[in-house]
Amino acid sequence: MVIEVLDSGSSACTPPIVFVGRNRAGNWVAREKRGAFGGLFINRAEALKYALFKNGRHPESIIEVVRQIELEIPSP
């Protein structure tokens, strides 16, 4: 299950850094460093698949974190 939060559509030269980890409820989160995009996932494989898709297939720009991370939805 993916919940798309925000997609900036940025076409920067460097691939975005994406953090992947679990939130306090145990769900998997993939979140761009500055919050430009992100999603909630039921397993690690889907979170990593999403992160790779969103960052242009740059696995070196995906950081798996051991601390809890939350998907933050910005205010309009």
Question: Is the pLDDT confidence value at 14 over 80?
Answer: yes
The more confidently predicted of residues 29 and 2 is 29
Q: Using one digit for the tens of pLDDT, what is the confidence trace for 45-56?
A: 999 999 999 999
Amino acid code (one letter) for 76 = P
pTM of the model: 0.80
Query: What domain range is 26 assigned to?
Result: 1-76
Q: Using one digit for the tens of pLDDT, what is the confidence trace for 23-45?
A: 999 999 999 999 999 999 999 99
Distance CA 40, CA 3 (A): 6
How many structural domains is the chain composed of? 1
